[in-house]
A and B are shown apart, each in its own frame.
Chain A
Amino acid sequence: MEFDAPVDDVDVEIIPSAIRKRPHMNGVFYEGMRANACSIVGLVRSRFEREHNDLILRTGSSTDNAKFNYAWCLVKSRFRGDNRRGIEMFQDLLASGDRDRECLFFIALGYYRLGEYPNARVYVKRLLQIEPRNRQALQLDAAIDKLVSKDTLIGAAVVGGLSVIVGLGIMLLKKK
């Protein structure tokens, strides 16, 4: 089992081309649909976005529920700016409410999707303190570890390669 449902590639497989080719469904073309036209998240994003913005327009502030739904779409968006905005919204919710485990998970997921693994790890560890046996958190933690160790190996290879070049350069200079 996966700790999170796929947002793009697998959804593309299952959502028929009829919808994929018609992101302007019902003649209405929403920002969210353009951003993520072929995923489930993209298909509902416009609604959550509108609900959130309408509340702000009408009452001056959004509700925790509306914020939560919109932030969820943003964290799962393909666009990094959206991911960052989603993380900020979940951080606000985390400070204000009773949705600790959900907020911690989605902040960690947001950072993971951004490739900011140390930040992702901070939040997934906080979730694991509350729920040490949460399988989704454990899987996300393992996924972060895997990517961090890969990055570290690549980093080491680059540093190793560079030192060989520098070394050769120094040798050549000395020969002159």
Chain B
Amino acid sequence: MASYNYSYIFKYIIIGDMGVGKSCLLHQFTEKKFLPDCPHTIGVEFGTRIIEVNGQKIKLQIWDTAGQERFRAVTRSYYRGAAGALMVYDVTRRSTYNHLSSWLTDARNLTNPNTTIFLIGNKSDLESQRDVTYEEAKKFADDNGLTFLEASAKTGANVEESFIETAKTIFQNIQNGSLDLNAAESGVQQKTQPAPAVDLGDKPAANSGCGC
């Protein structure tokens, strides 16, 4: 049985072009395994993991969105109330990097001003096929006030770090007061007592109540 005595829940979304490895990053983070030839996500997938930041247990609820254009309207609905957004491109495909400004515009418009946006250049293991330099992406990140890491869902390099660094920034924002937990759509919930087990919705509609 999982332990549910975490003190915070942070909501994350993962966004970026089709095929940049969003689902593989999430799978690597939650299952510590690489998924080879992963088909395109239909709609959204969902993963959770409890991590520890500054001695506090934090449950990350991660919404992994489909990169396909046809899902854009649907996936945009999940941006609402995200505390963290992981924006992913593929270091071996320049087009995925060129589209970042449009992803960033969406993220800025659809989340709250305190949402932490983290830029990930995935597939860093494919050095020989590199199409975007580290320096170039770092400059883009700096210009736009994003934290940036190159990572590899395949080898696991920097995957853990990306998710945890994002949580550290969010936690810092809570502590210094810039993230107001009572504000609508902060994407953070504080648990005052051990929470009951939460069913993750994989059950028929007939049984599910929304409790409000």
CB distance from A49 to the nearest CB of B (A): 13
Q: Does A8 contact B (CB under 8 A)?
A: yes
Stretch at the interface among B42-50, B88-96, B122-130, B137-145: B42-50
Chain B residues whose C-beta falls within 8 Å of the C-beta of A77 in the assembled complex = 205
CB atoms of A143 and B42 under 8 A apart: no
Closest to B45 in A: A1
Against B, the Cβ 8 Å flags (1 = close, 0 = not) of A29-62 are 0000000111111011000100000000000000
Judge whether A99 is part of the interface by a CB distance below 8 angstroms: yes
Which residues of B52-92 are within 8 A (CB) of A?
A: 61, 63-64, 70-71, 73-74, 77-78, 80-81
Contact B39 A131, beta carbon cutoff 8 Å: yes
Please determine whether B42 and A136 come into contact, CB atoms closer than 8 angstroms.
Answer: yes
CA distance A148 to B33 in the complex (A): 30
A88 is an interface residue with CB less than 8 A from chain B: no
For residue A44, which residues in chain B have a CB less than 8 angstroms away from its CB? 77
How many residues on B have C-beta within 8 angstroms of the other chain's C-beta atoms? 49
Interface 1/0 per residue, B169-212 and A, CB below 8 Å:
00000000000001111110100000000111110111011111
Overall SS of chain B's interface: loop
**Residue B132 is within 8 A (CB to CB) of chain A in the complex:** no
From residue A89, how far is it (CB to closest CB) to chain B in Å? 14
Contacts of A12 in B (CB 8 A): 210-212
Give A80 to B206 CA distance when docked, in angstroms.
7
Interface: B26 (CB within 8 A): yes
Q: Which residues on A sit within 8 Å (CB–CB) of B23?
A: 1
| Minimum distance in angstroms from A113 CB to a CB of chain B | 4
Q: Which of A15, A19, A69, A99 contacts B74 (CB 8 A)?
A: A69
Q: A4-B45, A40-B77 are in contact. Are A78 and B38 (CB under 8 A)?
A: no
Chain B residues close to A by CB (< 8 Å): 9, 11, 23, 26-27, 30-31, 35, 37-39, 41-47, 61, 63-64, 70-71, 73-74, 77-78, 80-81, 182-187, 189, 198-202, 204-206, 208-212
Other than the given A13-B9, A16-B182, 19 more pairs (CB < 8 A) read A4-B43, A4-B44, A4-B46, A5-B44, A6-B200, A7-B201, A10-B198, A12-B211, A14-B61, A16-B183, A19-B185, A37-B212, A38-B211, A69-B74, A78-B205, A79-B205, A102-B43, A114-B204, A134-B39
25 contacts between A and B (CB under 8 A): A1-B26, A2-B201, A5-B43, A5-B44, A6-B201, A7-B201, A9-B198, A9-B210, A10-B200, A14-B61, A14-B187, A16-B183, A20-B212, A38-B212, A43-B77, A78-B210, A101-B42, A102-B70, A102-B71, A105-B42, A113-B206, A114-B204, A114-B205, A135-B35, A136-B42
Residues of chain A at the chain B interface (Cβ within 8 Å): 1-10, 12-16, 18-20, 36-41, 43-44, 48, 65, 68-69, 72, 77-80, 83, 99, 101-102, 105-106, 112-115, 131, 133-136, 143, 147
